[in-house]
Amino acid sequence: MAINWFPGHMHKARKDIAEVMPQVDVIIELLDARIPFSSENPLVNGLRGETPCIKVLNKADLADPAITQMWVEHFEQQKGVRALPMTSQHPEHIKSLLKLCEQLMGDRDLAIRGGRAMIMGIPNVGKSTMINTLAGRTIARTGNEAGVTKSQQRIKLANNMTLTDTPGFLWPKLTPPECGNRLAITGAIKDTAFDFIDITLFAADYLLKNYPDALKERYKLDELPEHDEELLALIGKKRGCMQKGGSVDWDKVSRILITELRDGKLGPITLETPEMTQVEVARAEAAEAEKARLKEIHDAERKARTRRNRK
């Protein structure tokens, strides 16, 4: 299922960030460690230019540590990028970000001109919690839902640093389409914006292939079925998600699986790897190229018909 979701305030956020970017010394981009590619905003690279960027893989406690390390190595191959896994469970690690920001600014004397950092990230990635930790006080409102922050604000931090907070924003088209599914699974997109059952079937298929033992342990299953619908039916029976007549309440069991996956109750799980997303991008680009080719043929045929009709 393709998800396209681009509210008006996100369009404004992109414009505002582009205006402020020339004044920024370093960017802190928060990613969800469970979906580092899908939660990375492709607009950031175009907006930042040569500005150093710290990719923070937040919620690392919910992600598969081995795959998180793969993503750290992947990002650090990019020019001017540092990558760090973090979690709100260890505020001392979050505070170390300020030291890294100073290092990336070079030999500048911050007493003469303070440093300017910008923090950005998609909705529900933990940005507000990180801001409050960096500031040592409650400044940004937090909430386990998409789109809590609505406008920019500037925050004074220790050591003459100023942090510009930006609203969480997505991009106009979520591509490859798998990105939209993963964003929905982890809560970056509001639950009212997608079909819960479709998203859960996508998650169930991935878990069957990549985390079968986690499913067995969480739902007390001796054997796993081959298909996603069969898995949901089994979980539904285990959890009492049944309707009159013995049919499964698909919506109820879907919400159980997604909620428990989001909360980490299935254990540390990552929903994508660098190799996987490279394959998906190549497939999406090939599909777009084929679509453009067919459109070109269609346009040429239409023009030819028009010319014949005029004769």
7 or 174, greater pLDDT:
174
How confident is the model over 216-229, as pLDDT tens digits? 999 999 999 999 99
The residues with which 242 forms a beta bridge, in sequence order, are 248
Instruction: Let me know if domain 8-165 sits in CATH 3.40.50.300.
Output: yes
* Beta carbons within 8 Å of 79's beta carbon, 6+ residues apart: none
Q: How far apart are CA 65 and CA 38, in angstroms?
A: 18
CATH number of 195-262: 1.10.1580.10
List the chain domain ranges.
8-165, 195-262
* Beta carbons within 8 Å of 136's beta carbon, 6+ residues apart: 158
- Give the pLDDT score at 182: 95
- CA dihedral defined by 233, 234, 236, 242, rounded to 10 degrees? 70
Number of helical H runs and strand E runs in the chain: 11, 6
Q: What is the residue-averaged pLDDT of the chain?
A: 86
* Beta carbons within 8 Å of 15's beta carbon, 6+ residues apart: none
Q: Are 162 and 155 in contact (CB under 8 A)?
A: yes
173 or 214, greater pLDDT:
214
Residue with tokens 């014949």: 308
